[in-house]
């Protein structure tokens, strides 16, 4: 019998389940197994029990993450200047996939200011944070004076770089990484002391989605992240400081030092 398998989770299933209405978890993409029941949210999205266990369902649960994200951004000299109101919303009939949501959390109308963060409720904490990091970088770029030269490729890529870096920070800090041991490093910001095996795996899955994105945002991410890596290597060779830690302090310098970051 022919089987298919998810490229990351390696969950095997019959090809007919792609078209017979078998639910898939919105956050991790795994299909509902036989004998299990996924939770249905009010907007129709399905969540597996593992993702539901880590889901942020209301604004009160999200506020600590928002404050942590502000501190993380400020440690990289990414200062928005004011706290943008945050709302947790449903899909409201917009049938966007997980990949669409990660690469572009919202549709920005040219000439309009972003006055409120709209983030889907019911997403696991890591996915919520990923979205929030992307949005905060968007706002910071919008408020930079004289930076209208940024193309969709560059701007989207920069936002994905910050989201990816935050996700890396969370995964490492959750396991007591020695990288976060110095007081001068912004990697000490996470308040999470340990992570479940599933949450760690989910984080790796989200990283994989960003890395393998074939859209213009994926191209921008790979170009931007490579630029940062080369900057860190050059700094390491010149001043003998840890290249990983220098990455966090040179993102904004890379953007502001040239008209075309990558």
- Beta-bridged to residue 12, according to DSSP, are 5
List the single range of 8-17, 106-115, 197-206 with lowest mean pLDDT. 106-115
pLDDT at 254 over 90: no
58-96 core/surface letters (b: 16 or more CB in 10 A; e: else): eeeebeebbebbbebbebbebebeeeeebebeebeeeee
Percent over 90 (pLDDT), the chain: 32
Task: From 129, 86, 135, 133, select the one nearest 106 (Cα to Cα).
Answer: 135
> Residue 17 above 70 pLDDT?
no
pLDDT computed for residue 258 by the predictor:
43
Q: State residue 243's pLDDT score.
A: 43
More confident of the two residues 240 and 136:
136
Task: Say how far apart CA 160 and CA 203 lie, in whole Å.
Answer: 14
Average pLDDT of the residues of the chain = 76
Q: Which of 7, 8, 6, 28 is nearest to 18 (CA)?
A: 6
222: tokens are 């790979």
Query: What is the model's pLDDT at position 174?
Result: 63
- Read off the pLDDT of residues 107-138 as tens digits, 9 standing for 90 and up: 554 455 567 888 999 999 999 999 999 999 88
Q: Can you point out the beta strands (E) in the chain? A: 4-5, 12-13, 39-40, 46-47, 55-56, 86-89, 117-120, 123-124
Q: How confident is the model at residue 62 (pLDDT cuts 50, 70, 90)?
A: very high
């Amino acid at each position: 019998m022919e089987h298919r398998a998810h490229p990351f989770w390696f969950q095997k299933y019959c090809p007919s389940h792609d078209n017979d209405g078998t639910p898939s978890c919105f956050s991790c993409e795994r299909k509902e197994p036989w004998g299990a029941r996924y939770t249905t949210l009010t907007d129709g999205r399905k969540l597996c029990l593992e993702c539901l266990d880590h889901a942020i369902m209301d604004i009160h649960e999200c506020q600590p993450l928002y404050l942590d994200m502000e501190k993380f951004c400020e440690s990289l000299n990414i200062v928005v200047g004011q706290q943008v109101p945050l709302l947790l919303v449903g899909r409201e009939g917009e049938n966007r996939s997980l990949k669409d949501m990660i690469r572009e959390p919202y549709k920005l109308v040219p000439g309009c200011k972003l006055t409120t963060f709209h983030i889907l409720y019911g997403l696991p904490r890591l996915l919520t944070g990923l979205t929030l990091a992307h949005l905060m970088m968007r706002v910071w770029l919008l408020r930079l004076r004289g930076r209208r030269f940024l193309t969709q490729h560059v701007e989207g890529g920069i936002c994905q770089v910050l989201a990816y870096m935050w996700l890396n920070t969370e995964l490492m800090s959750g396991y007591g990484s020695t990288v976060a041991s110095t007081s001068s490093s912004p990697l000490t910001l996470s308040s999470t002391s340990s992570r479940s095996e599933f949450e760690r795996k989910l984080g790796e899955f989200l990283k994989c989605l960003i890395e393998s994105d074939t859209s213009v945002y994926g191209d921008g991410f790979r170009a931007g992240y490579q630029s940062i890596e080369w900057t860190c290597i050059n700094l390491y060779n010149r001043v003998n400081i840890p290249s990983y830690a220098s990455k966090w302090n040179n993102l904004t310098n890379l953007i502001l030092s040239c008209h075309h970051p990558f």
